[in-house]
Amino acid sequence: MELILTPEEVKEKFGPLFCKKFLTIVDEKARLVEIIEKCSARGPVEWDAVNRTRAGGVVKKSYVSGTELHLFAEIGNRPVNFGPSDKELGGQALEGVLVKENEVHTKWSGIAGAGLGIVACLAQAPGVLRAIYPTKEDLEKVGGAYTSRVTLVTPKYEKIIVGIDDTDTKEKGATWAIALKIANELQEEGEIELLAHRIIQLNPEVKEKTTNCVSIALVFAAKTEKVEELISSFVKRLKELAVSEHAHIVIWRGVVIPQEIKEFGKKAKEEILNLDMAKKLVEEIDIEHYKITGERGLIGAIAAIAYADSGIEAAALAKDPALSIIS
């Protein structure tokens, strides 16, 4: 007989544990879910990333950034390679992902300490609505050699990436600051969350640059009913704050960024691109974009989307020697 507990009830049973955030972002078109898990330390998410990826199931790939784990999984169910950790098995696994209207159900299994990680730690994380345990034993026999299972129910979020460029002049303004100011204004707890602000270094040989030649990517997680409000509010505020006559933004909805955009972004670091090239790409893959005060910023705004999910390479020059030193 299954048991259903709230995060508060899980916390009462096990005491407060270590997961600080748990988000599920759905890309229905790509049939993928991005799961973001934030821990109070880096070690647990590194171990989880390796073991969940090794275990297979619905996991496609993962990466760790600081104390955050980003796990990409397909919607559906798949058999897992699961058991005590070895070269073929993972000690923790994601067996399935199901989207039910505005909720996401993720089905987990873990053995020993990894079992505690899912049934007690993840289950009480901020962002979880309820935890469903298949049997009483899954809740009571945690740790040791016992295998525990739980399904976590979370709100459905969508991923909205905003690429911004050319909002400032040589006399006034800073695109990175304007973007971050608006992003912070538009956050709503439990509804809209800023996941990342990235400064993308473009080719500094571009003559039209202000000083450093950068564009900005903002990555949001937003509940479906908040998406249009987020985009319209962002456009409105940027029109109020931009001081350039060339400001433009690009919107990308979804977890998967097309390869064509990534290639365009790489070229924007290495070459000098023109507006016609950007407009051609917009038509080819139907890119959503908005003229704020002008068109020229379209180039950098598309390039920003390309690096929205990147790490330190977003801020680097093409073939930047600094990358060989930074770790």
pLDDT tens per residue, range 88-103: 788 899 999 999 999 9
pLDDT-derived band at 327 (thresholds 50, 70, 90) equals: low
Please report the pLDDT score of residue 96 as a whole number. Answer: 98
**Cα–Cα distance for residue pair 288/298, rounded to 1 Å:** 11
pLDDT at 169 over 80: no
Q: Which two tokens stand for residue 280?
A: 């051609």
Does residue 209 share a domain with residue 320?
Answer: yes
CATH number of the domain where residue 278 is located: 3.30.70.2200
Please report the pLDDT score of residue 208 as a whole number. Answer: 80
pLDDT at 68 over 80: yes
pLDDT at 296 over 70: yes
- End position of a domain, from candidates 103, 130, 157: 157
* Exposure letters 140-159 (e unless 16+ CB within 10 A, then b): eebbeeebbbbbbbbbbbbb
Please report the pLDDT score of residue 168 as a whole number. Answer: 79
> Is the torsion defined by CA of 42, 20, 129, 160 positive or negative?
negative
**Cα–Cα distance for residue pair 202/200, rounded to 1 Å:** 6
pLDDT at 143 over 80: no
What is the number of structural domains in the chain?
2
pLDDT-derived band at 159 (thresholds 50, 70, 90) equals: very high
Q: Residue 22: which H helix or E strand, with range?
A: strand 19-27
Does residue 70 share a domain with residue 175?
Answer: no
**Cα–Cα distance for residue pair 75/97, rounded to 1 Å:** 5
pLDDT at 298 over 90: yes
Does residue 28 share a domain with residue 137?
Answer: yes
Does residue 276 share a domain with residue 180?
Answer: yes
Specify the long-range contacts of residues 263-266, CB closer than 8 Å, at least 24 apart.
263/306, 264/302, 264/303, 264/306, 265/200, 265/302, 265/303, 265/304, 265/305, 265/306, 265/307, 266/306, 266/318
Does residue 190 share a domain with residue 125?
Answer: no
Does residue 246 share a domain with residue 210?
Answer: yes
Q: Which two tokens stand for residue 101?
A: 């209207």
Q: Which domain holds residue 14?
A: 3-157
Does residue 73 share a domain with residue 116?
Answer: yes
Q: Whole-number mean pLDDT of the chain? A: 94
**Cα–Cα distance for residue pair 277/261, rounded to 1 Å:** 12
pLDDT at 211 over 90: no
Q: Which residues contact 211 (CB under 8 A, 6 or more apart)?
A: 170
Q: Which two tokens stand for residue 264?
A: 């365009």
Does residue 137 share a domain with residue 82?
Answer: yes
Does residue 77 share a domain with residue 35?
Answer: yes
For the segment 18-34, the average pLDDT, to the nearest whole number, is: 97
- End position of a domain, from candidates 109, 138, 157: 157
Q: Which two tokens stand for residue 108?
A: 């987990």
pLDDT at 115 over 90: no
Does residue 152 share a domain with residue 26?
Answer: yes
Does residue 172 share a domain with residue 141?
Answer: no
**Cα–Cα distance for residue pair 260/270, rounded to 1 Å:** 16
Distances (CA, A) of 151 to 26, 96, 105, 174, 224: 17, 9, 6, 45, 22
Q: What is the pTM of this model?
A: 0.94
- End position of a domain, from candidates 129, 157, 185: 157
98, 104 Cβ separation under 8 angstroms: yes
300, 268 Cβ separation under 8 angstroms: yes
pLDDT-derived band at 263 (thresholds 50, 70, 90) equals: very high
Of 31, 73, 34, which Cα lies nearest the Cα of 55? 73
SS3 content of the chain, % helix, strand, coil (to 5): 35, 35, 30
For the segment 309-327, the average pLDDT, to the nearest whole number, is: 89
Q: How far apart are the first and last CA of the chain?
A: 49
Does residue 171 share a domain with residue 67?
Answer: no
For Cα atoms 241, 242, 244, give the angle at the middle one, nearest 5 degrees: 155
Q: Residue 155: which H helix or E strand, with range?
A: strand 147-165
